[in-house]
Amino acid sequence: MASKDNVIYLRVSKGALVPADSYAETKLRERNYRVGDLLKADLKKPRNPRFNRLVHRIGQLVVSNLDAFSGMDAHKALKRLQLEGNIACDELAISMPGLGMVTVKQAQSLSFESMDEGEYHEVARSICRYISERYWPSASPEAIEAMAEAFIQEAA
């Protein structure tokens, strides 16, 4: 993963990527990149800071409204939802003495830098779907997301 110092933001233009601002332009010049050079890039759409709080507001919503999550903080509620629903989880194989290989799930980080905007919104939608199916059948996934977004606007 590139350090923050190596990140240069580009903007999509018709058929090309161009520096997003004067800082990016300067950094590209400093590195002696020239027209026609072949470069390797890891392209990600940065997250909108306003919606960075969306999933955490979903956690607060379930803690405030569902008995199954009472007494938990929003972060623990989210990790529980991720694991139960197998949402944004990695599977790890662990050798356990006496049991052999055991597969366990580990919830991925939902931090700002860990995933791009598209991935983040898909995780949010998946968590809302899971909550609707498992814990709150009277609320549609869209209604759950709308309630969480209302929490964002209240806190802003």
Q: How far apart, in Å, are the Cα atoms of 150 and each of 54, 117, 144?
A: 10, 19, 10
Q: Is the pTM of this model over 0.85?
A: no
The pLDDT assigned to 2 comes to 46
How many whole angstroms separate alpha carbon 82 and alpha carbon 80?
5
The pLDDT assigned to 67 comes to 96
**Other Cβ atoms closer than 10 A to 149:** 17
Q: What is the pLDDT of residues 51-89, one digit of tens each?
A: 778 888 999 999 999 999 999 999 999 999 999 999 999
* Angle in degrees, CA 95, 97, 99, rounded to 5: 75
The full set of domain ranges for the chain reads: 1-43, 50-155
**Which residue numbers in the chain have pLDDT < 50?**
1-3, 156
Residue 91 tokens read as: 């599977």
Quick check: 66 and 134 in contact, CB under 8 A?
no
